[in-house]
Amino acid sequence: MVGVTPHILGTRSITYLVLLFVPIAAIGVDASGKLFSNMFYPTQTQIHIEMEAKEIVEKRKRDRSAPPEQMETPMSFEASV
């Protein structure tokens, strides 16, 4: 630890406890925040899957409501030429 005077890091037990428990507490807070966000907010992949599913449903509705296309038979094709 550069720049820290030797008497600061004496052999006091509180120093070692702080050096041990502060990173553990920070990791715990970080992990719990990530867990919370994963439980309550969707990922980008989930958002895109939902958007695609919505587009598919809308396309199916449009296809059903559109008038049926007339199929061209060989006779109607020759008549139009």
With tokens 């070692």, the residue in question is: 16
Residue 71 has pLDDT above 80, yes or no: no
Return the higher-pLDDT residue of 24 and 61. 24
pLDDT mean over 31-50: 91
DSSP letter string over 19-76? HHHHHHHHHHHHHHHHHHHHHHS--HHHHHHHHHHHHHHHHHHHHHHSPPPPPPPHHH
* Banded pLDDT at 42 (limits 50, 70, 90): confident
pLDDT mean over 65-81: 60
pLDDT for position 75: 59
pLDDT for position 14: 81
